[in-house]
Amino acid sequence: MGFSLKFLLVLVIVVFLISPIMADGIKDDGPDLQIIGGVNADIEDYPWQIAIFTVDLDGNLEEQMCGGSIIDPFWILTAAHCVLDDAHKTQKIVAHITRRSQPGQGQIIEISDYIIHEGFDTEIIQSDVALLRLAYPIDTSKFGSKPIRLLSPDEEQNGFVAPGTLATTTGWGMTIYGGDASEWLQVTSLPIISLETANQWFSETNIPIEVTADMLPCGYEEGGKSSCHGDSGGPLFVKDNTDTWALAGITSWGAICAGVKQPAVYTRVPYFYDWIISHSKLGIDDVPTENDYVENVRMIIPKNVYSCDDYTNFGDVLVRNMGLNDLTSFEIIVKTGSSPDDITKTESQVITLEKSLPPMGSKRIQIPNIHPDDVGRNYIEVELSKPNGNNVAIQNSSKGQYFNYSGITPLVLSIDLEELSQLEIQVFSLSKNESKSLATFMSDDAGKKHQFDNCLPEGEYHL
């Protein structure tokens, strides 16, 4: 069974026979794509390709689940459906690898932030585009890790992605539909087709899917070559008028991989060109000028803030080192109240980073604990100071935001074990693919009411 918490609970349950989950922890609800009909490739020939891996609670790499493209040493462009909840904790990128099983041969880099397009729709896979901000820069001096430039709307108007244009795509893909992912990076080329042709093909094969203006379909009528399950987010690229590769698409979705009249569908990069530029600020000269300087980029505050066991979950603040020196520590000051003019509580804490941030490096930092006074609408302000212990003047280091502080409602269960001698009940978070609580009941608990004391944020859970 499933349920959605519309208010905050102090805990709930799972009958031991819950629906199965994937052993590698990757959610299986997205149209992941990989290459069919490709050939082995070398990363140095397509150095913008990166792999996205899931990580365990200790930050160790688990499974490669998606691809992406380097568009800047600090930015990766990928598909929105490739980005997991809390991607800064649950995923890392690996650059400069040809073999999927050898991530240690490449550059493994933490994600500090992620931006999913606000129009992303999981049902019809529209606006399937996202940006990953990296904590540390990719070393683009290496032959196997270079950025690729974006194809512009003007170039699209000039026919660079016109139907019939041959486009190239890469990924660690299966060579047979339903088989295993490839060990070696794969490459293949596909002709771009019109939206009308793609929709006609899907209609003729009884696939009730619409290809829309933000998508770029590719494929052969007879099939045989395609992206397929497992490597969404990877690049589709074409040659520009200087014979240089430009990023035209992001591997997004398809129906029957490499089937007859079954195009692979990519997110159309020129359609989202302005969105990508405005959120990543590509091409904008934003370089450090002071020796020590820390920037408060943005706050990530949940819709409902709640307290559990004297801890308040405010969310995170995205911190960027805008100094010329590596950033090792700074002070964070948290203020709460009913408004900017009515601050009632102030707490400060010195943050010492386990790994220093280089210039322009960034990291999401958990906002220190402080309890708001009242349930309901509140205000929080976070200020940064003293980078590397230096009491220097920092402009625009303070950001404020209103939030809703929610009370806690306990969940009370009445349990009748009937003929059972023992029952184990568990709560499982659907969004995070993890167990949130576990309780065991014996026969003498029959008919009793039980109140659980673990906090759950608003979300969807299995019992």
Using CA atoms, how far apart are residues 274 and 278, in angstroms rounded to an integer?
Answer: 6
DSSP-derived pairing of the beta strands 398-405 and 304-305 = parallel
Please tell me the distance from the alpha carbon of residue 160 to that of residue 237, in angstroms, as a whole number: 10
Task: Give the distance between the most distant pair of CA atoms in the chain.
Answer: 79
**Is residue 128 annotated as part of the catalytic site, yes or no?**
yes
- Tallying the residues shown for the chain, one arrives at 463
Active site residue 240: no
- Cα→Cα distances 90→77, 295, 445, Å: 17, 24, 38
Helices (H) and strands (E) counted in the chain, each on its own, are 4, 32
Cβ–Cβ < 8 Å for 180, 174: yes
- In whole angstroms, what is the distance from residue 87 CA to residue 93 CA? 10
The catalytic residue among 128, 214, 292, 316 is 128
Residue 150 tokens, joined = 């974006």
Centre a 10 Å sphere on the Cβ of residue 60 and count the other Cβ atoms it contains.
10
Given a contact cutoff of 8 angstroms between Cβ atoms, the answer to whether 173 and 34 are in contact is: yes
Point out the catalytic residue in the list 81, 88, 96, 462.
Answer: 81
Got the DSSP string for 79-106? -GGGPPTTHHHHEEEEES-SBTT-GGGS
Strand order through the sheet with 294-300: 294-300, 316-321, 362-366
Rounded CA-CA distance 266/286 in Å is 31
Closest by CA to 364, choosing from 318, 314, 423, is: 318
Which residues on adjacent β-strands are paired with residue 93? Answer: 52, 109
The catalytic residues are: 81, 128, 232
